[in-house]
A and B are shown apart, each in its own frame.
Chain A
Amino acid sequence: MTHSFAEMSARERLAAVVDAGSFHEWLPPSERVTSPHLAQLGVPAAFDDGVAIGRAAVGGRTVFVAAQEGGFMGGGVGEVHGAKLVGLLRRALRDRPDAVLVLAESGGVRLHEANAGLIAVSEVMRALLDVRAAGIATVMLIGGANGCFGGMGIVARCADTVVMSDIARHAMSGPEVIESAHGAGEFDSRDRALVWRTTGGKHRWLCGDCDVLVDDDADAFRAAAITALDAHRPMTLEELQQESALLQARADADGDNADAFVLWSRLGVPDARAVPDLDADALRPRRPASVAALAHGGA
């Protein structure tokens, strides 16, 4: 039996990914470290400010882990939420776990907290890059129904490994944001097929933004997390040049802002029109060789 990762709460996901009973939470709900801003706006706070952080074991190895709750404010990163992530990452620099896992589900900066949230997200990016530079594997597990957008979308791409399900989404601006700014002619946020083939896990994986594509299943995410514990990528000049080459190849293939179907074809995906109907296993052999050669995670 499969358990939909997307349908789970953050705490359920966390419990499903780590070894049973191994999670030790820091700043648990009973500590009541809540947002100082939301009450002023008349919005109920969450006891954990929408993120659980702590230490756990995965496959018997020590990891630090964070899980964002998309149900609370869309997983938005407020001041406290961001500080918890930063604190976790900085502690990882001191204690050197085998990896830091982030079960990301976020619309980005929590707009209620504006500048505090923006600063928090930039601090998360810096802290994550410090952890990665220290040789500790950093892993983003993206599988929540709200996707991973905005500042957290950038944070995700700072990590060693990005794992996504086919129904997960990852991008900078969300569909509604793009439509609001540029109109439905540019991007129709109600066209779900369009939204998923532009931001969804398959697209990200075919393009090389996502390293590992899994089914929407908690066990599949756990298995991918265990593998990723050893998938550290030193951030060298060569690594950055490879990344740049991958992005350049995509920009060349997408010079006219073509639909994802066209982009996939140009990247060398056979029978691109069939992609939305394929599950992860069926799609795996179709990753373009050019992307597989450069992207982490290979084919």
Chain B
Amino acid sequence: MAGMETLNFAFDGGRALAPFAPALVGVVASGNLEVLVEPSADTGCRIDVDTSARGFGPVWEAVLRDFHERHGVAGLRVAIHDMGATPAVVSLRLDQAIAAIAGAAP
């Protein structure tokens, strides 16, 4: 895994989402990322990140915590493949993912 960094986060609290089908948004391309959102039996929100940009753990923590505070969602698992997206792009993709599952029944 040389060159890549794996980060794992878990946030507690928030409202459990209604059942939804997994959704994928974004693309693993330079300055971009893909976000896969799936339902989870856990009550919280787990977010796993694979990123090609090492050393940005605190920034990911801040961006993902902000995401969880804004949406307050639980019962989901988020997996991210990142190729150096900026924090703003990450936030937009996460919002897009929530919009995608809101609009799609299982």
Contact = CB atoms under 8 A, between A and B. Distances in A.
A44 B28 contact: yes
Contacts of A9: 27
Interface string A165-194: 000000000000000000000000000000
A107 to B, nearest CB: 13
B3 A47 contact: no
A158 interface: no
Contact of A71 (B3, B24, B27, B79): B27
Given A45-B28, A69-B27, A72-B27, A29 B36 contact: yes
Given A42-B4, A42-B52, A47 B27 contact: no
Interface in A16-41: 28-30, 39-41
A204 B81 CA distance: 36
Nearest to A74: B29
A11 B28 contact: no
Contacts of A71: 27-29, 32
Contact of B3 (A11, A41, A45): A41
A215 interface: no
Contacts, number: 54
B83 interface: yes
Interface in B59-83: 79, 81-83
B50 A28 contact: no
Interface string B1-37: 1111000000000000000001010011100101010
A43 interface: yes
Interface string A116-147: 00000000000000000000000000000000
Contacts of A40: 1
B24 A44 contact: no
Given A30-B22, A47-B34, A47-B79, A42 B3 contact: yes
B30 to A, nearest CB: 8
Contacts of A42: 1-4, 52
A46 interface: yes
Nearest to A30: B22
A69 B34 CA distance: 12
A144 to B, nearest CB: 12
Contacts of A28: 22, 24
Interface in B39-60: 50-52
A74 B27 CA distance: 11
A46 B22 contact: no
A43 B38 contact: no
A81 to B, nearest CB: 13
Given A39-B1, A42-B2, A30 B27 contact: no
A63 B86 CA distance: 39
A37 to B, nearest CB: 13
A44 B22 contact: no
A79 interface: no
B1 A44 contact: no
Given A42-B2, A45-B28, A48-B24, 4 more contacts: A30-B36, A39-B1, A42-B52, A43-B52
Interface of A: 9-11, 28-30, 39-48, 50, 69, 71-72
12 contacts: A9-B27, A10-B27, A28-B24, A30-B36, A41-B3, A42-B1, A42-B52, A43-B4, A44-B52, A47-B81, A48-B24, A71-B28
